Structure 1
Amino acid sequence: MAFAFRYHQAAQSTYKPPLIANENAFLGDVDSSEKDSPEKPISAGFYRLEKGTPLVYTYTYDEMKIILEGEFEISDETGQKVTAKPGDVFYFPAGAKITFTTPSYGLAFYTGQRKQGAA
């Protein structure tokens, strides 16, 4: 049995994630393995934060992010704080409470071990 891959051309520059929180936090799944692997789905997409209200998010699933553009200030309840720039990669375990802010804007690609739209 053959399986075809899915392709999302120029997604970083053409996909516009919807507003999910406050006035400045945008997130949207571009694709998911949920239909192919419903027991252990992974979903991936883009997260954009613009200057304004910090986003505080408690993860209910494991996620990895790579910063693509701009800059984020990322902190957690342990006191860890990082200024994230393009090329930086993060792992957020289920249960982590993360605060995201930015002095201007930031764009990241993520993949999470969850169903599509379950962020």
Structure 2
Amino acid sequence: MGSFLSKAKSSLKSPAPEKSTMAPVAFTQHVQAQTEFKPPLIANDNAFLGDVAVSTDATAPISAGFYRLEKGTPLVYEYTYHEMKIIVDGEFTISDETGQKVHAVKGDVFYFPKGSKITFSTESFGLGFFVGQRKEGAA
């Protein structure tokens, strides 16, 4: 039976690969964005957030940028979209409505599901890089 299957497979012809009719698309670079980009103030006097890069896909938009929190008033944020965040500098205390609470530091990665209500605070400052499933500026 094994030789029968190998003969049957070898007699099947693979379709020729399709040639792309789309024009090449260039990537975008944001030089030194982690240190040079200054996100705008979004809440209180210590919470800053700004989109650096956004997709052009209208059906499944993606936005990426930086969130910075300085010592002071905690930020409570309810996510209306899915987001991933990596802590790139400083530290945060991050908690949610389930009672989960962590001390987040450089290198930690988080997933905040749509509908989660997250509280961010810090004793110094924290900087996170995020990627969210949302349109530009919809945070």
TM bucket (normalised to shorter chain) is over 0.9
Cα offsets for 1:3-59 (capped at 9, x unmatched): 1000000000000000000010000000100xx211101000000000000000000
Tell me which residue corresponds to 1:87: 107
Q: Which runs of 5+ in 2 are unaligned?
A: 1-22
RMSD: 0.4
- 1:3 and 1:82 mapped to 2: Cα distance? 41
- Return the letter of the residue paired with 1:12: Q
Tell me which of the two structures has the higher relative contact order, counting C-alpha pairs closer than 8 angstroms and 6 or more residues apart. 1
Tell me which residue corresponds to 1:64: 84
Tell me which residue corresponds to 1:50: 70
Tell me which residue corresponds to 2:42: 20
Normalising by the residue count of structure 1, what TM-score does the alignment of the two structures yield? Answer: 0.97
| 4+ runs deviating over 2 angstroms | none
Tell me which residue corresponds to 2:19: none
Identify the match of residue 52 of structure 2 among 9, 27, 30: 30
Normalising by the residue count of structure 2, what TM-score does the alignment of the two structures yield? Answer: 0.84
Identify the match of residue 8 of structure 1 among 5, 30, 41: 30
1:105 aligns with 2:125: yes
Structure with more of its chain in strand, by fraction: 1
